[in-house]
Amino acid sequence: MNQGFDVKNKTALVTGANRGIGRAIVESLVHHGAVKVYAAVRTLESAELLRRSFPDIIQPLKINLQQSETIQLAAQQAQDVELVVNNAGVLTDTAVLDDQAVEALRFEFETNVLGLLQMAQAFSPALIKHRGALVQVNSVASIRAVPFIATYSASKAAAYSITQSLWQQLSEQGVSVVSVHPGPISTDMADQAGISNAAEPPAVVAEGIITALKAAQFHLFPDSLAQKVGEYYTSYAESVIENK
Ligand SMILES: NC(=O)c1ccc[n+]([C@@H]2O[C@H](COP(=O)([O-])OP(=O)(O)OC[C@H]3O[C@@H](n4cnc5c(N)ncnc54)[C@H](OP(=O)(O)O)[C@@H]3O)[C@@H](O)[C@H]2O)c1
């Protein structure tokens, strides 16, 4: 079971912090009183705007989810972290019978699944020590496959499965875990997937995370499309996954 977690006065780390949902999460953390935020990015220059906006709070840190050595090094450098938000992810527009489906699935698994696994392994000692929290940005596509982004959906389903196991194991050691399931959110990724017309602002996800952490929720369905999925899914999730 999760504990209520207030981000005020906490030290946090967000992957994919430089744009899209990750950037909005950093801004919400700052707004709600986090004292230090490691902006984890692939290239340090991409965190420069954030650092200039909040110079006393933002600490840029290199993490490329496809390079495990960057994850290991970051975990050594950020041992004071109390909240890790693994937000970074990749999407290809690949249907299941497309020629490049095997290659696309491999690429998406490497970042979206193996990236999460390695982040959790590297940062668990600090989170356990601080009785902190881990937030994983999954998708509604974790629950319901979307055929035109089939390989991405499969990677997000696998990430959701790992998130459930992390929740079971880490919550026994005092670490709260949140699985976030957005629908279309207005970012470069939504443009790429051609779902921008139905998209809601990234702040909806970011503010939802702050609230879910406080409320000790495991599942979060932040935007209106996600909430519709959540309406059907929640009773199943509460009895089968959360054992409530
Ligand atoms: N937008 C949506 O509709 C939507 C819906 C449901 C779930 N999500 C999930 O929300 C998360 C954020 O998505 P977004 O829409 O904000 O995407 P985005 O606008 O495409 O941004 C992706 C972020 O991930 C980073 N990233 C990509 N590959 C990485 C790697 N190997 N290592 C570290 N960072 C990497 C990018 O860094 P660079 O700038 O260096 O490329 C960027 O900061 C993802 O996990 C996505 O699957 C998005």
Query: Residue 4: inside a domain, yes or no?
Result: no
Q: Which two tokens stand for residue 221?
A: 């369905």
Residue in 166, 160, 148, 184 with CA at minimum distance from that of residue 20? 184
Indicate which atom in ligand 1 lies nearest the CA of residue 17. 43
User: What's the CATH number where 36 sits?
Assistant: 3.40.50.720
Q: What is the pLDDT of residues 88-107, one digit of tens each?
A: 999 999 999 999 999 999 99
Gap from CA of 118 to ligand 1 centroid (Å)? 17
Low-confidence ranges of the chain (pLDDT < 50): none
What does the pLDDT read at residue 47?
Answer: 98
What does the pLDDT read at residue 244?
Answer: 80
What does the pLDDT read at residue 243?
Answer: 86
Query: Residue 230: inside a domain, yes or no?
Result: yes
pTM value?
0.98
Q: Is the CB of 92 under 6 A from ligand 1?
A: no
| Ligand 1 pocket test, candidate residues 13, 21, 181, most atoms within 8 A of CB | 21
Indicate which atom in ligand 1 lies nearest the CA of residue 192. 20
Total domain count for the chain?
1
Query: Residue 196: inside a domain, yes or no?
Result: yes
Using CB atoms within 10 Å of the CB of residue 88, give its burial: 0 to 12 exposed, 13 to 18 middle, 19+ buried: buried
Q: How far apart are CA 33 and CA 98, in angstroms?
A: 46
| Ligand 1 pocket test, candidate residues 90, 106, 112, most atoms within 8 A of CB | 90
What does the pLDDT read at residue 198?
Answer: 87
> Which residue lies with its CA nearest to atom 18 of ligand 1?
189
Query: Residue 222: inside a domain, yes or no?
Result: yes
Query: Residue 132: inside a domain, yes or no?
Result: yes
Query: Residue 64: inside a domain, yes or no?
Result: yes
Gap from CA of 52 to ligand 1 centroid (Å)? 22
Provide the residue range defining the domain that includes 53: 11-241
Q: Is the CB of 60 under 6 A from ligand 1?
A: no
Q: Is the CB of 47 under 6 A from ligand 1?
A: no
Distances, alpha carbon 220 to alpha carbons 7, 72, 228, in Å: 17, 28, 12
Query: Residue 74: inside a domain, yes or no?
Result: yes
Query: Residue 122: inside a domain, yes or no?
Result: yes
Gap from CA of 243 to ligand 1 centroid (Å)? 31
- What pairs with residue 219 in β-bridges? 179
Q: What is the pLDDT of residues 7-27, one digit of tens each?
A: 999 999 999 999 999 999 999
Identify the helix (H) or strand (E) that includes residue 244: none
- What pairs with residue 178 in β-bridges? 135
What does the pLDDT read at residue 200?
Answer: 97
